[in-house]
Amino acid sequence: MLPRPWIKDSMDSLLATLSRAKRDLKHEISAWQAVAVQLVLAYAQEEDKQEACLNSIKQVLSVVKDSNLVPWDVVHLSAQIQATLYSLRILAQVLDLMYEIKAEKPVQGSKQLRELLATLPPLTEYPSVNGTIVLLASMKANNALAKITAELNLPEEALLPSKESKGQKKKRKKTIETEPGTRPQKKMSSNPFDILGVE
């Protein structure tokens, strides 16, 4: 069982984060989905996966409307947003259960968190892949993405499409010119059973 002070600290932190995010993103049509985007990005920051997450958001913003070609990273980001909303829903149900059974000595702040989570959208409103694309386009247009980057102390250009530097282009061009017909060597497999396929 988790120590009570840790639960209290975690609950306070979550309540503060959600309250601030809901306040900052209240004008979003899908405020909770926007909050989920912020939580996904904040978690990626903690886990040192910020660059991958930012690249996924950039990819979402670059998908052409009504395109059938959706990169895997966009699908993954959509799943992360859904999972975040679902986790918050489970937490809301746990807090509801504690309230119903009149749990002894509830953790301070659980009532406020329960009330806040009561405003979560129904499962049917969780964004699909296309819904995620629409959501992030709306957040960009309404300046909500800029608010999120500011909240997480990210530079303003963090969600702008990255431009290849001239140095990188020159280096690639030079490589192509110096090695016209060379192909990269096939990497040696680490699977010991691959030897069975060698003739």
Measure the N-to-C terminal CA separation of the chain; round to a whole number of Å. Answer: 57
Pairwise CA distance, residues 107 & 169, whole Å: 57
Using alpha carbons, select from 97, 17, 94 the residue that is nearest to residue 86.
Answer: 94
Q: Give the pLDDT confidence score for residue 179 in this predicted structure.
A: 52
Q: Give the pLDDT confidence score for residue 165 in this predicted structure.
A: 38
Q: How many CA atoms lie within 13 A of 171 on its CB side?
A: 5
Q: Give the pLDDT confidence score for residue 166 in this predicted structure.
A: 43
Q: Give the pLDDT confidence score for residue 167 in this predicted structure.
A: 45
Q: Give the pLDDT confidence score for residue 169 in this predicted structure.
A: 46
Domain ranges of the chain: 4-165, 167-197
Mean pLDDT of successive 10-residue stretches along the chain, which has 199 residues? 70 82 72 88 86 86 78 90 92 86 76 87 87 87 85 79 48 52 57 57
Give how far Cα 51 sits from Cα of 77, 92, 158, 163, Å. Answer: 13, 31, 9, 15
Record the pTM: 0.71
